[in-house]
């Protein structure tokens, strides 16, 4: 077991947590506790905030027995920390102004030989006069002047994973710090050296690890876990039916029953978190998505995980 270290779960307060979100939180807790780490909860509220959602989410997590080992921090209260990190990158000459609109970027992405989803560097080498002209018309975003084409991370479940690294936004043109920079600063400040989260965020991990390296910060261990999906193969959402604690409570199901369903989907003892922790093995976490049928949620049994081969250096398309 690790003697020190920290894991975390960091939801955005945009609404109630569904069982897929809660499953990821349970996994983050299991990964942390099984390696002797603290478990923290952080509220990532730079975007998509719904009034009352933070308290609602913290209550949902507590109902499953998941509570932070230290005070919960909120990104909206940490602007000074992000400004310092941004200033460090500026001092290194690694930041430039970008005046592109969403439409500009979308049109560039559709151009021949473009790399979809990645910024093509349109504003990277603008002259002083052109920047001044555009600044008078539109407030700029700030982008990273990346010095690499790609970066690799090591993931406990995925193995070696490499993905392109573009000139990511560091601060939006409305002055709000980007998620990619904020999460790197926050993890380092909280001593987070283990990041367990949904595998929909896997492609962003190399960008964040690269940012951490530029800032001289430690790169955490990653574990990107499979998402919960609807029977149609889409990301689970409240619209799919009774998939939140509140909706399930209305049907007479206690949080303990929901926790049992989550633990069962991970092929772990369903009696309690403590019982699950006693046999938890990160290498036995199912690699397939959890297919959630709300009509039969509490009788869901996860399929056996497929036999795993040796890690490979995977490349994100």
How far is the C-alpha of 304 from the C-alpha of 201, rounded, in Å? 24
* Cα dist from 303 to 103, 280, 306, whole Å: 43, 17, 9
159 dihedral zone (left: phi>0; alpha: psi -120 to 50; beta): left
Is 249 within any annotated ligand binding site? no
Tokens (6 digits) for 65: 């027995």
Counting other chains too, the contacts that 258-262 makes at CB distance below 8 Å and 24 or more residues apart are: 258/19, 258/22, 258/64, 258/298, 259/26, 259/64, 259/65, 260/298, 261/19, 261/297, 261/298, 261/299, 261/300, 262/19, 262/22, 262/23, 262/26, 262/64
Instruction: Kindly report the number of other CB atoms within 10 A of residue 107's CB atom.
Output: 12
Is 222 within any annotated ligand binding site? no
Is 33 within any annotated ligand binding site? no
Is 314 within any annotated ligand binding site? no
How far is the C-alpha of 5 from the C-alpha of 25, rounded, in Å? 17
* Cα dist from 95 to 91, 92, 125, 214, whole Å: 9, 8, 11, 12
Cβ(32)–Cβ(2) below 8 Å: no
Rg over CA atoms, the chain: 21
249 dihedral zone (left: phi>0; alpha: psi -120 to 50; beta): alpha
Cβ(302)–Cβ(250) below 8 Å: no
Is 83 within any annotated ligand binding site? no
Is 179 within any annotated ligand binding site? yes
Give the rounded distance of the alpha carbon of 2 from its chain centre: 23
Is 99 within any annotated ligand binding site? no
Is 305 within any annotated ligand binding site? no
Question: What values do phi and psi take at 161, rounded to 5?
Answer: -135, 125
Annotated binding site for Zn(2+): 98, 100, 119, 123
Annotated binding site for L-glutamate: 8-12, 44, 179, 197
Annotated binding site: 8-12, 44, 98, 100, 119, 123, 179, 197, 238
Annotated binding site for ATP: 238
């Amino acid at each position: 077991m690790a003697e020190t270290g920290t894991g975390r779960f960091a939801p955005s307060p945009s609404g109630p947590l569904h069982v897929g979100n809660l499953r990821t939180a349970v996994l983050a807790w299991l990964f942390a506790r099984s390696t002797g780490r603290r478990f923290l909860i952080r509220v990532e509220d730079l975007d998509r905030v719904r009034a009352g959602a933070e308290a609602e989410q913290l209550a949902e997590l507590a109902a499953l027995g998941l509570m932070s080992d230290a005070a919960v921090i909120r990104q909206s209260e940490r602007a000074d920390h992000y400004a310092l990190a941004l200033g460090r990158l500026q001092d290194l000459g690694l930041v430039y102004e970008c005046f592109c609109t969403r439409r500009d970027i979308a049109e560039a992405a559709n151009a021949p030989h473009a790399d979809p989803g990645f910024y093509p560097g349109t504003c990277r080498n603008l002259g002083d006069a052109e920047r001044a002209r555009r600044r008078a018309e539109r407030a700029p975003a700030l982008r990273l002047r990346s010095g690499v084409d790609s970066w690799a991370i090591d993931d406990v479940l995925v193995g070696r994973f490499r993905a392109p690294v573009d000139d990511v936004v560091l601060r939006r043109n409305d002055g709000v710090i980007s998620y990619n920079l904020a999460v790197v600063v926050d993890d380092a400040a909280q001593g987070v050296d283990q990041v367990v989260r949904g595998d929909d965020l896997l492609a962003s991990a190399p960008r964040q690890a690269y940012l951490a390296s530029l800032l001289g910060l430690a790169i955490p261990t990653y574990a990107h876990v499979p998402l919960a999906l609807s029977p149609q193969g889409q990301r689970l959402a409240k619209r799919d039916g009774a998939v939140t604690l509140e909706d399930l409570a209305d049907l007479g199901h206690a949080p303990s029953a929901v926790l049992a369903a989550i633990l069962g989907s991970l092929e772990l003892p369903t009696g309690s978190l403590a019982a699950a922790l006693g046999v938890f093995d990160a290498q036995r976490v199912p690699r397939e998505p959890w297919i959630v049928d709300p009509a039969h949620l509490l009788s869901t049994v996860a399929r056996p995980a497929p036999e795993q081969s040796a890690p490979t250096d995977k490349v994100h398309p």
